[in-house]
Structure 1
Amino acid sequence: MEWREQGIVLGVRKLGETSVVVELMTRDRGRHLGLVRGGRSRKQQPVLQPGNQVEATWHARLDEHMGTMTIEPIELRAARLMETPVGLHGIQLLAAHLRLLPERDAHPRLYDGLKIIVDHLDDPVQAGELVLRFEIALLEELGFGLDLETCAATGTRDNLVYVSPKSGRAVSAEAGLPWHDKLLALPGFLGATGGRADAAALADGFAMTRYFLARHVWSARAIAEPPSREPLIAAIARQNGAARLPRDDEVLADLPG
């Protein structure tokens, strides 16, 4: 069996003296592993770095086998990504998120999002918003989508400022006022009215996605939050001119677990 497709390198691990197992995210075949013979050579090592765009040719006798890959470079982004904390932590976090998905399950929306994000991780304003939207899309792909377009109580699309931690649905300022201390904040740029993704809005957004990822994904699988997430959020804050974004657990301190 054989296929040929572009992919983005998520990671590699050594195998034997000269080979590696490469982990790619592809559009049509999802997250896919393959053995690259000679992957530890001077020629191949710079290509097999997280964030790089490559073209992979996969061979295997049976579809269920891991198979072997030959890799050709298309766009080498890794050196640029490693130059900044946002780029370095960003690609690590995106890879960790994608590992929540079953291997070889196609998720073209997430692949397309990943491809856009890795080209903008040198811009902290765009990077923060794009990574946050990626986490929202990831929740949806995992079956825990949020409804941020209409108020859960009234159906209105206006003045949506909260998110219900129980339903994952938006709530308007008026409907949520009596329970405002029990609701998550909805950043304006994620709602129907739009707005600027400033440091405060990003803090609210990352706290919101953390709540639902922790509730539905990390806790359910008995795994920890990716260690690259908080450093990425801190790096985005610094490059946006904020001293720091509040930690998610500070923002969520008064909410039910």
Structure 2
Amino acid sequence: MEWRDEGIILGLRKHGETSVIAEVMTRAHGRHLGIVRGGRSKRLQPVLQPGNSVDLVWRARLDEHLGQYQTELLTARAGRLMESAIGVHGVQAMAALLRLLPERDNHPRLHDAFAIILDSLVTPEEAGALYVRLELAVLEDLGFGLDLSQCAATGAETDLVYVSPKSGRAVSAEAGAPWADRLLALPAFLPDRTKACTDADMLAQAFRLTGYFLNRHVFEPRGVDPPISRESFCTAALRAMPQPRHDQPPVQEKM
């Protein structure tokens, strides 16, 4: 068995004296493991770093075997990612998120989104919002997608400001007003891609929204805690965002 693909390094673990088992998010073969002979050598260590894109050739006698990788570097990101908290925690949080997917399931759009977000970590004010969209995409691919396109009660496609915690569907301001304290806030940039995530409060709402459904549908049923790397990334991303501007009463001049 043999195939060739591109992928992004998620993590490594030691194998024998000189080799490693590389966990890679490949474009056409999903999250896939393979042995890299000599992976702990000075030549390959800089290549096999989380966040780097690599060209892969995988070989095994049978398809169900672990198999071996031959790798060549395509895009080096690891050094830059290590320069900031948002980079360090971002690659770890996304790796933990992608590990929720079944091994070897094909998810090309998640591979592509992963690469885009890794490249965006140099502009932290964009990274948090992109990461939230990745969480939404993972929920969808796991079968728990949210419907943020129209109001669950009226069918309206505008003024969507809530999400039902039961159905995962958007709710308009008017329809949701009587139950506002029971609904989750829906930041405007999620249902409307023409709008931007403008401040830390808006991003915090988005993190709470996706975090709620990840806990409900993924972490709690599997009996696991949310990864610490997600909390660390959320904290770093919120610190990088502009703080919201609250209207202040005019200062009266003393006579």
Q: TM-score range by the shorter chain?
A: over 0.9
What is the CA deviation profile of residues 202-225 of structure 1, one whole-angstrom value per residue up to 9, with x for unaligned ones?
100000000000000000000110
Question: Normalization by structure 1: what TM-score?
Answer: 0.92
Query: Displacement, 1:200?
Result: 1.0
Give the whole-Å Cα distance in 2 for the aligned partners of 1:47 and 1:124: 25
Identity across the alignment (%): 59
- For residues 1-257 of structure 1, what are the structure 2 equivalents within 5 Å? 1-192=1-192, 194-197=194-197, 198-242=199-243
What SS class does the counterpart of residue 228 from structure 2 fall into?
coil
Q: CA offset at residue 193 of structure 1?
A: 7.4
Letter aligned with residue 223 of structure 2? A
Q: Distance in 2 between matches of 1:196 and 1:2?
A: 43
Q: CA, structure 1 residues 174+194, in 2 after alignment: closer, same or farther (shift >3 Å)?
A: farther
Tell me the secondary structure at the aligned position of residue 209 of structure 1. helix
- Offset at 1:195? 2.8
Distance across 1 between alignment mates of 2:210 and 2:204: 10
Measured after TM superposition, the shift of residue 194 of structure 1 is 4.4
Q: In 1, Cα distance between the equivalents of 2:193 and 2:219?
A: 31
Quick one: which amino acid aligns to residue 109 of structure 1? R
- For 2:156 and 2:242, the matched residues in 1 are separated by 35
Other structure's SS at 1:190 match: coil
Q: CA deviation at 1:122?
A: 1.6
Whether the aligned pair in 1 keeps the contact of 2:10 and 2:50 (CA below 8 Å) is yes
* RMSD (Å) for aligned C-alpha atoms: 1.2
Letter in 2 for 1:60: A
CA shift at 1:192, angstroms?
A: 3.2
Give distance in 1, aligned partners of 2:236 and 2:94: 15
In the superposition, the TM-score normalised over structure 2's length comes to: 0.93
Whole-angstrom distance in 2 between the partners of 1:160 and 1:212: 18
CA distance in 1, matches of 2:150, 2:218: 24
User: Which stretches in structure 2 are left out of the alignment for 5+ residues?
Assistant: 245-255
Aligned length: 243
Larger radius of gyration: 2
In structure 1, list runs of 5 or more residues that go unmatched: 244-257
